[in-house]
């Protein structure tokens, strides 16, 4: 359970030369986004025109102007910095829909995602929900579930890495909210921009596919803290400290399928990744009964700073053998941070990039809240699975969480200009 403070994919801001907003002021308002701003023209984004200058669009703040590129080697939404709003949605192909209909759908979805991520309206039938906003770091990511390949007659192209996940002791899975033929991840730093994309994707599905399940999430807004920092989850813990970083030499090997494919991934998955999606309910009433000291023992880190209990700062190395005056391990054997470490799991690593969720309070006054866990890896059998098996055998945090839904999706590489996501599979 963790999020990512990842390096940025390609983002651009869109201040206009006539706005009177200087580069210094834009960078000053960027907050925790850590993005590079550049004047790429007033056409990106469709904010309303100023009444004082009807021919010039109103200047966007840096938050609204930030844009993520749709085309590239990898799909957006994997190493894109965390956004403050998110939607996860799975679709099943309609009865009678096959490979031809799936290709047409992915072509429509890709074209829509490209326009919306650039801050442009849909070509027709736009709802105007995001009319006053810019791109707001919108990203849209597409993936294929295990069942997609039998529905489209492409069973021979199904990756071995997409084999169903094993059962785990902590699973209490709702099948209606798990898996699916197609999966879409939407993230943005503005709630209306994110919803606008969700509605556009749903409308584009038309008669080809219907929604199987949909989940809404959120994170801290960029600029909400005095300085960039790792986010907190709904348990109040700083969460995501040990995530792999794109700057690390073995990052691509761990997270992305090689350009030529692999033993578990065919060539059409080149530069792609695999997303494990889990709806994890946090039993907050039980958690909040613990003292801060007890909570820190469960996690293995200080709640205030995220530093290991053995001392230092958030990024200090955890001293697993350190003992206290009584000879007891400072970081308990069942502490979540100890058990989930790559060096405790044969080097297994994944980029964890989730959203928090809160879906109301039930009749007993218990919050339905937790984490929409999304993690990325080149092979889930070497990333998520060994870590979750280890956690299943004795993680102290397991008493305070419940896995309620699950999905595994093959997310192909990014689309070429003029192409669409999954084209190598659907037209290969």
Taking a C-beta distance cutoff of 8 angstroms, is the pair 237, 299 a contact?
Answer: yes
7 is catalytic: no
Q: What is the CA angle 183-180-388, rounded to 5?
A: 85
Distance CA 206, CA 49 (A): 33
Which single residue is written with the structure tokens 């958690």?
287
* Selected catalytic residue, list 66, 189, 204, 239: 239
Q: What are the residues facing 357 on neighbouring strands?
A: 370
CB contact at 8 A, 81 and 64: no
User: Of the candidates 134, 115, 114, which has an alpha carbon nearest to the alpha carbon of residue 64?
Assistant: 134
307, HSE (Cβ side, Cα atoms, 13 Å):
8
Do the beta carbons of residue 197 and residue 144 sit within 8 Å?
Answer: no
Coil, strand, or helix at residue 371? strand
CA distance 356 to 233: 7
Q: Are strands 273-282 and 401-411 parallel, antiparallel or unpaired?
A: antiparallel
Rounded CA-CA distance 299/279 in Å is: 20
The DSSP H or E segment spanning 111 is helix 99-117
- DSSP assignment of 181-194, as one string? SEEEEEEESSHHHH
Q: Are 345 and 389 in contact (CB under 8 A)?
A: no
| Residue 351 and residue 243 in contact, taking contact as beta carbons nearer than 8 Å | yes
Contact 77, 139 (CB under 8 A): yes
- Residues catalogued as catalytic: 239
């Amino acid at each position: 359970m963790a999020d990512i403070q990842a390096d940025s994919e390609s983002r651009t801001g869109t201040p206009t030369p006539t706005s009177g907003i200087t580069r210094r002021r834009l960078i000053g308002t960027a907050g925790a986004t850590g993005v590079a701003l550049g004047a790429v023209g007033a056409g990106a984004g469709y904010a309303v025109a100023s009444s004082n200058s009807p021919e010039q669009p109103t200047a966007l703040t840096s938050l609204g102007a930030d844009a993520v590129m749709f085309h590239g080697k990898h799909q957006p939404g994997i190493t894109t910095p965390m956004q403050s709003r998110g939607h996860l949605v799975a679709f099943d192909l309609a009865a009678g829909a096959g490979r031809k209909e799936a290709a047409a759908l992915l072509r429509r979805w890709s074209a829509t995602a490209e326009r919306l991520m650039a801050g442009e309206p849909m070509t027709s039938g736009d709802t105007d929900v995001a009319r006053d906003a810019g791109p707001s770091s919108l990203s849209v990511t597409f993936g294929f579930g295990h069942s997609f390949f039998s529905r489209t007659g492409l069973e021979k192209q199904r990756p071995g890495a997409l084999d169903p996940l094993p059962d785990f002791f902590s699973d209490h899975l709702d099948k209606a909210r798990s898996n699916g033929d197609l999966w879409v991840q939407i993230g943005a730093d503005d709630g209306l921009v994110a919803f606008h994309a969700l509605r556009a994707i749903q409308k584009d599905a038309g008669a080809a596919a219907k929604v199987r399940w949909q989940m809404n999430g959120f994170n801290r807004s960029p600029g909400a803290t005095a300085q960039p920092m790792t986010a907190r989850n709904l348990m109040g813990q700083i969460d995501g400290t040990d995530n792999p970083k794109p700057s690390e030499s073995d990052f691509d090997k761990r997270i992305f399928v090689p350009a030529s494919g692999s033993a578990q991934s065919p060539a059409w998955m080149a530069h792609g990744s695999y997303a494990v999606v889990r709806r994890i309910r946090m039993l907050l009433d039980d958690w909040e009964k613990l003292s801060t000291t007890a909570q820190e023992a469960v996690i293995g880190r200080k709640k205030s700073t995220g530093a290991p209990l053995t001392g230092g700062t958030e990024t200090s190395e955890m001293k697993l053998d350190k003992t206290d005056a009584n000879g007891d391990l400072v970081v308990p054997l069942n502490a979540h941070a100890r058990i989930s470490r790559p060096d405790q799991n044969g080097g297994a690593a994944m980029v964890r990039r989730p959203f928090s969720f809160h879906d109301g309070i039930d009749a007993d006054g218990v919050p339905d809240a937790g984490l929409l866990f999304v993690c990325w890896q080149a092979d889930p059998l070497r990333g998520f699975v060994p870590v979750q098996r280890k956690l299943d055998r004795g993680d102290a945090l397991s008493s305070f969480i419940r896995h309620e839904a699950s999905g595994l999706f093959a997310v192909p590489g990014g689309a070429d200009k003029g192409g669409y996501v999954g084209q190598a599979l659907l037209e290969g």
